[in-house]
């Protein structure tokens, strides 16, 4: 982004520290997906399942982010666009399964939700701290930060849902939190896709300008 007297360079992930942090976060997310999905099935909790799918999505998108570090802007923007669209599909799937669960209304196990929610929150706070200094960057780098931030927010919501289920002996707090998390996925998807499309336009304009100069 240009100013009157200087140009601000967007961080592209070309840092050994960022790559190490990304590897650590990939391992954390993969492990927590297994733990939380198992707990979600056993506890019959839509909120836990939604959060577990977020862990799985993050594991995949972080691996993509790592793979395209150092690639041309257009490829990094395409990777971010893919991640943004995948996040939107995840949000829509969670909304759909939550809507279906409204017809069943099985009361989840609040104790399991609370324990696993605290464990997931601890894992995501570690991830957030590892990535905090890299939160401002290109669409590829920023998508990593947004996913980690979403996870931490989602874990707090799961803990709140567990409290609500325990107090009300009802499935509604769980279903409401799952819907809120799905909405957060969709909003983050919009942010990532918007930035990625902007970067793709910039890459095309740069390529066109270079082609004009060469001709």
Q: How many domains does the chain have?
A: 1
Is residue 152 within 8 Å of residue 121, measured between CB atoms? yes
For residue 8, tell me if it sits in a domain: no
pTM, entire model: 0.65
User: What pLDDT band is residue 90 in, cutting at 50, 70 and 90?
Assistant: confident
- For residue 205, the Cα-to-chain-centroid distance in whole angstroms is 29
- What's the rounded Cα separation, in Å, for the pair 215 and 128? 47
For residue 124, tell me if it sits in a domain: yes
SS3 at position 2: strand
Is residue 80 within 8 Å of residue 199, measured between CB atoms? yes
For residue 96, tell me if it sits in a domain: yes
SS3 at position 66: helix
Tens-digit pLDDT profile for residues 8-57: 456 666 678 888 888 998 999 899 899 988 988 888 777 788 778 778 87
pLDDT at 105 over 60: no
For residue 22, tell me if it sits in a domain: yes
Average pLDDT for the chain: 77
Residue 2: phi, psi to the nearest 5? -90, 145
Tens-digit pLDDT profile for residues 60-83: 878 887 887 777 878 878 887 887
pLDDT at 2 over 50: no
For residue 7, tell me if it sits in a domain: no
Residue 146: phi, psi to the nearest 5? -60, -40
For residue 107, tell me if it sits in a domain: yes
């Amino acid at each position: 982004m240009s100013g009157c007297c200087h140009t601000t360079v967007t961080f592209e992930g070309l840092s050994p520290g960022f790559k190490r942090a990304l590897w650590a976060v990939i391992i954390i997310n993969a492990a927590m997906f297994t733990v939380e999905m198992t707990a979600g099935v056993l506890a019959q909790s839509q909120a836990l399942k939604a959060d577990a799918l977020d862990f799985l999505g993050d594991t995949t998108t972080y691996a993509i982010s790592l793979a395209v570090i150092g690639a041309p802007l257009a490829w990094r923007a395409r990777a971010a666009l893919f991640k943004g669209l995948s996040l939107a599909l995840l949000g829509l799937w969670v909304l759909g399964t939550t809507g279906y669960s409204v017809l069943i209304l099985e009361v989840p196990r609040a104790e399991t939700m609370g324990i696993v929610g605290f464990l997931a929150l601890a894992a995501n706070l570690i991830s957030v701290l590892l990535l905090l200094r890299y939160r401002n960057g290109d669409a590829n780098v920023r998508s990593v930060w947004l996913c980690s931030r979403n996870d931490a927010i989602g874990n707090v919501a799961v803990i709140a849902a567990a409290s609500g289920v325990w107090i009300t002996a009802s499935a509604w707090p769980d279903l409401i939190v799952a819907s809120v998390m799905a909405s957060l996925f969709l909003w983050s998807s919009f942010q990532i896709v918007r930035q990625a499309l902007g970067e793709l336009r910039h890459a095309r304009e740069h390529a066109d300008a270079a082609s004009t100069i060469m001709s």
